[in-house]
Structure 1
C-alpha cells in the first residue's frame, strides 16, 4: 500500500504499519515489529516443510517451528538472528487502565519507571503505569 512519508492526508498507513520511504513511490506501508511480533505461530498448509523461527510474545523469545512453505503470516523468519534482530524492540504493549499506551514516532511504546537505562518521564496528560509486566506512559483520566 502506498503512503505519504509525511503521514498526512488520505495516504496514511493503518496504526499497525509505518510509512517507509521508497525510491519508486513516495512511501510504502510496512508492518511494525510491534504488530508482526505479536502474531501467532502459523505453520501454513502446503507440503514443503522447513525449519523457521517465530517470536513468541508471551515468552519474549524466538522459537523454532516447522513451516509448510506457504501462507502463514509475517511472524516467520529464516534464522534465529533475523527473528531476534527484527523483534528485539517489539516490547509488549502496556495494558493501561484506560486508553492506549503512548508510542514514539517509530511506533515503539515509551518505557518509563523501572530501573532500565531507557527509562523516561511521561509527558503531560500521561502517567507511568506498571501492569505487572511492562512499564508504559498511560493517559490520565480526563
Structure 2
C-alpha cells in the first residue's frame, strides 16, 4: 500500500469523497454533517492523502491544521471494496506521523455518535484517542462525538 499526498484532482478520489458525503447524509442529519467536499479539502491548512495499491484507490484521509500545536483529522474513508483490511489504520498512522513531524501536541476529530460510526470509533480508541468536549468551532451535538489524543 502506498499512501501519498494527493491534489484531489483525480476521478477516483472525487468519487470516493462523493461516496463519503453521500454516506454522511444517510447516517447524519444535515446540521450534524461536518465532512468537507472537494473544494473544502483544497484549503491551504489541509493536507490530503490517498492510499493506493497498484492503480486502485483504497482510501483517504486528511489533516487540518487548527494552530501550530493542534491538528484535526478529516475525511477518513475506506473504499467499500477494501473495508476491514487495515486501510484506515495505515492512513491514520500516516496522519499521526505527519502531525508529530509538524510538532503538534494534540490531534482531535469529530465523528458520528450513531451505530454506523462504531467501527471508526473503535479504530480511534485502539490508537489511543479519548473522548473529549467539542473543540475548535464545534458545539455540543447529540449526533457527534469528539475525540482527542496527546502526541
Give the structure-2-normalised TM-score. 0.27
Greater relative contact order (Cα 8 A, min sep 6): structure 1 or 2?
2
The structure where helix makes up a greater share of residues is 2
Give the structure-1-normalised TM-score. 0.28
